[in-house]
């Protein structure tokens, strides 16, 4: 059985290199607006190019799919899925909540996952059939049901058929609250570390969920789409629901009541 030790160490080192590029350019990166009216910076492209070059050198038979330099050949047996800067909005506004994310998929299923918070130096990682770790220490989702005053991460406001006001009302009725960080990977980290018991957000793109989903699952959590099916890396789920498992049905119920089908 393949262990992926080499690929994991490669991904961890890649994350540290990406983190240095991100922090070195944090206060002076030029912004452009993409066709979908979201920002992109020269730092996004610099990290993306570095990842592509490093993968080509170390694993010449592997392909890379990332947000900025998209590769349409997603059927490759080994495919690295990268978000060079998840949270370009906060990055471009000098708010330090952006993340680097990379996952190696074999036949479209993650086998290595690394996410990195370069500002707090939090390196989270996992690999096939192993637990999840933060800087070498095993991590776990937070057990138990919702407790008064706890926070759910995520507001799926990008989906126009989602009733945001109802969503917030339903959460408040449970004596819990909702908060939001403009980075799906950052919010995934909150669940994996046990800081929050639930994340409810749009599913976005493969690079937004591939690494975070594997790290949450290997930390004992559960990740599904809006129908309760295990969240895929590819395909077109509308929503990404990640929890500690115990509160998953409760979180799904809240979401489903707010979707205008």
CATH number, domain containing residue 178: 3.40.190.80
167 domain residue, yes or no? yes
107 pLDDT exceeds 80? yes
Say yes or no: 19 and 103 in one domain: yes
Say yes or no: 133 and 14 in one domain: yes
Residue 137's DSSP bridge partners are 134
Note the pLDDT of residue 101: 98
In contact, 188 and 216? CB cutoff 8 Å = yes
Say yes or no: 50 and 79 in one domain: yes
Say yes or no: 13 and 134 in one domain: yes
| Of 156, 162, 160, nearest in space to 184 by CA | 156
Note the pLDDT of residue 261: 64
Say yes or no: 13 and 131 in one domain: yes
Say yes or no: 31 and 121 in one domain: yes
Alpha carbon distance 139, 38 (integer Å): 33
At 74, is the pLDDT very low, low, confident or very high (cuts 50, 70, 90)?
low
Domain that holds residue 155: 151-258
Residues in the chain: 261
pTM: 0.95
- What single-letter DSSP state applies at residue 84? E
Region 48-61 average pLDDT = 95
Number of compact structural domains in the chain: 2
CATH number, domain containing residue 85: 3.30.540.10
Note the pLDDT of residue 191: 98
In contact, 108 and 79? CB cutoff 8 Å = yes
Say yes or no: 158 and 85 in one domain: no
Question: Which secondary-structure segment (H or E) carries 23?
Answer: helix 5-24
Say yes or no: 168 and 49 in one domain: no
């Amino acid at each position: 059985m393949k262990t992926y030790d080499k690929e994991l160490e490669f991904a961890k080192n890649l994350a540290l290199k990406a983190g240095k590029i991100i922090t070195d350019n944090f206060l002076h990166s030029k912004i452009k607006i993409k066709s979908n009216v979201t920002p992109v910076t020269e730092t996004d492209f610099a990290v993306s190019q570095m990842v592509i070059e490093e993968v080509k050198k170390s694993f010449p038979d592997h392909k890379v799919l990332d947000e900025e330099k998209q590769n349409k050949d997603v059927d490759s047996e080994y495919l690295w899925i990268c978000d060079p800067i998840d949270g370009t909005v906060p990055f471009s506004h000098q708010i330090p909540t952006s993340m680097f994310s990379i996952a190696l998929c074999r036949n479209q299923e993650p086998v290595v996952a690394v996410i990195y918070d370069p500002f707090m130096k939090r390196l989270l990682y996992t690999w096939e059939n192993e637990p999840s770790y933060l800087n070498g220490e095993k991590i776990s989702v937070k057990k138990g049901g919702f407790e008064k005053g706890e926070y759910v991460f995520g507001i799926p406001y990008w989906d126009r058929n989602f009733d945001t006001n109802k969503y917030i009302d339903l959460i408040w009725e449970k004596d819990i609250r909702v908060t939001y960080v403009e980075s799906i990977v950052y919010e995934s980290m909150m669940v994996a570390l046990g800081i929050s018991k639930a994340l409810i957000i749009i599913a976005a793109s493969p690079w937004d969920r591939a690494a975070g989903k594997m790290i949450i699952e290997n930390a004992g959590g559960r990740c599904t789409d809006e129908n309760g099916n295990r969240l895929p890396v590819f395909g077109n789920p509308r929503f990404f629901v990640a929890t500690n498992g115990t509160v998953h049905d409760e979180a799904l119920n809240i979401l489903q009541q707010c979707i205008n089908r």
